[in-house]
Amino acid sequence: MKINSKLLKDLYASNDFLENVNCISFFTNWDLMVFPGWKAYLPKGNKYSLNIFKHKNLMKNEYAINEIVKKIIN
């Protein structure tokens, strides 16, 4: 989800197909893979910043996993 990537440009240009999808974006401000991390989200749906360090910890860190599960279930 690099800024100005073709994917993001396409999503922002025509994202009507997301209207019936429950989009949820999780990101970290300290992402070293997606920069800046706080811009790495879909144009629709809720956006949640998780207070963790590094991109890979979005799926490895116990706190992050618990927060993601909580948001998805609710």
| Ordered per-residue pLDDT tens for the chain, 74 residues | 566 778 778 777 877 777 888 888 888 888 777 766 667 777 788 898 898 988 888 889 999 999 999 988 87
CB-neighbour burial class of residue 68 (10 A; exposed 0-12, middle 13-18, buried 19+): middle
What is the Cα gyration radius of the chain? Answer: 13
Token representation of residue 5: 């990537």
Confidence at residue 65, expressed as pLDDT on a 0 to 100 scale: 93
Question: How far is the C-alpha of 74 from the C-alpha of 71, rounded, in Å?
Answer: 5
Q: Give the global pTM.
A: 0.69
Eight-class DSSP state of 9: H
Alpha helical stretches, state H, 1-74? 6-13, 62-73
Task: Please report the pLDDT score of residue 44 as a whole number.
Answer: 80
